[in-house]
Amino acid sequence: MKMTLTFLGATQEVTGSCHLLNIDGRQVLLDCGMIQGGKLDAMRNHEPFPFDATQIHAVVLSHAHIDHSGRLPLLVKSGFTGPIFSHKATVELCAVMLKDAAMLQFRDAERTNKKRAKNNLEPIEPLFTEEDVDTVMQQFVALEYDQHTQVVPNLTVCLCDAGHILGSAIVELWMGPKDQRKKVVFSGDLGRAGMPILDDPTLIEEADLVLMESTYGDRLHRSWVDTLAELKTIFASTIKRSRGNILLPAFSVGRAQELLYLFHLYAKEWELGRWRICLDSPMAIRATQVYVGNYNLMDEDFKRFTRLSPGLHPLLSNVDFIDTTDESMELNHIHEGLIIIAGSGMCNGGRIRCHLAHNLANPLSDVIICGYQAMGTPGRLLVDGAESLTIHGDNIPVNAKIHTIGGLSAHADQAELLNWYRHFNNTPPVVLVHGEVEAQKGLLKQLQVGGEMPPVHGVIAEFGDCLDLTRLPQLIWISQSS
């Protein structure tokens, strides 16, 4: 029986997650994510898929973030008609996130076509439309955690809680007939133990191969205690002087809800009651409603808090939801006393761009970067100390204070990745994906050193690498890029 795994995305980079399983002629995708970053990265999404979409039998989606789900509408537009298996909450979030992505695609195409028209160039089409999203949503199959499901003959999957965002999953895959059965575990994006709202990532003991993310494979996050202390210091300093605004570029799913929860828990200690907190993101507002509707997936601390405070939901108190464009624009005329949570999390789109345009030049304002910033994004430029940003054609000096809060990350750091891996028996081989090269090298070195466990046979995937799964736990490559 032929069983292969080909790596077609998030190879030596963080976005664009996509991996192709071939089980005796049946082709199944693990994720189908959008490539994010600068303009050149975004243009790569327009390139044809490196496979025939009409020959894909099914997709297994780890979670709703756009770098994992964002090209599903394009896949359907290209001829894919099969089922998309994912957690129930992920299906609900994809309905929100993919619609928003379609709207952004339309607006980007509209702006580009105005420029092209001036140069007598043919207009371009958006990557996909809201109608394409409507079609793709009909192909989702909603699963629960710990539910075993046959995806195609000789391939069974089970989703386990990854603790990254609502509905995020570690994917267990059993493939082949009983006498040749192999088990691959795809980490998806791994969350962190002890973080608010969600349960910790599931620990798994058995695998013949581990396909593991490595976003923060070369660094350690600040402890949760130190992170809270750092946030308290920032808010105390700004609120005490009662001038300027605080901007928090935030991913609309996961980070925004985490911030709302923290602002509820620490409103008194951080003296937040003196300032107006605004969630300025229609998508984050819809995603928060999905979170509220999936109470059963929250961790015990969240449930206990809610039981003790009936009628006071920790994601819905102390915050103004800013839904319309007019409401958002009104905030630009307020120069002090605002805490604004807005997307996009990497500052490369959405309403945060307007708020940065109106606040970056103000030395009394603060910008709190609280998530991963891909290479080439405005958020990454701010983290790297840029003296100015170009926003809507204007050069804006960066006079505001820029704070990078790594401890809020929803991704496991090096120690947490190693700890998750250590729970596997017999040190199965590891293929690293979803990380920049230096982060992957750092994690691979720690895996190979061994320490508390035997050295691990690990490799860093390159685009187009194809692995023979029938030979596991040996890593036998059918083809490699180098």
pLDDT digits (tens, 9 = 90+) for 247-284: 999 989 999 999 999 999 898 899 888 899 999 999 99
Q: CB within 8 A of 46, min separation 6: which ones?
A: 127
Residue 154, CA distances (Å) to 182, 185, 204, 466 in order:
10, 16, 21, 19
CATH superfamily of 3-219+412-479: Ribonuclease Z/Hydroxyacylglutathione hydrolase-like (3.60.15.10)
Backbone angles phi and psi of 160, in degrees to 5: -120, 150
Q: What are the residues facing 172 on neighbouring strands?
A: 158, 185
High-pLDDT (> 70) share of the chain, %: 98
Rounded CA-CA distance 351/369 in Å is: 15
Q: Read off the pLDDT of residues 216-248 as tens digits, 9 standing for 90 and up.
A: 999 999 998 999 999 999 888 888 777 899 999
pLDDT at 413 over 80: yes
Helix, strand, coil shares of the chain, percent, nearest 5, are 35, 25, 40
Tokens (6 digits) for 95: 């309905």
Which H/E stretch holds residue 402?
strand 401-404
Give buried/exposed letters for 263-277 (b at 16+ CB in 10 A, else e). bbeeeeebebeebbb
For 378, the token pair is 């405005």
Q: Which residue has the tokens 């980070």?
A: 255
What are the CB-based long-range contacts (under 8 Å, 24+) for 384-393? 389/356, 389/360, 391/353, 391/354, 391/356, 391/357, 391/360, 392/353, 392/354, 392/357
**Beta-carbon count within 10 A of 24 CB:** 15
- Supply the pLDDT for residue 311: 64
| Poorest-pLDDT segment among 207-211, 236-240, 407-411 | 236-240
CATH code, residues 224-408: 3.40.50.10890
Q: Exposed, middle or buried by CB within 10 Å (0-12, 13-18, 19+), for 254?
A: buried
Mean confidence (pLDDT) of the chain: 93
Distance in angstroms (rounded) separating the CA atoms of residues 163 and 171:
13
Tokens of 393: 């054609």
Highest mean pLDDT among 83-92, 97-106, 174-183, 370-379: 83-92
How do residues 3-32 score in pLDDT, each as one tens digit? 999 999 999 999 999 999 999 999 999 999
- Arithmetic mean of pLDDT, 359-371: 93
Separation between Cα atoms, residue 40 and residue 43, nearest integer Å: 5
CATH 3.40.50.10890 domain range(s) in the chain? 224-408
Domain with CATH 3.60.15.10 in the chain: 3-219+412-479
pLDDT score for 310: 65
Q: Residue 72: what pLDDT?
A: 98
Q: What pLDDT shows up at residue 308?
A: 66
Confidence band of 105 (pLDDT split at 50, 70, 90) = confident
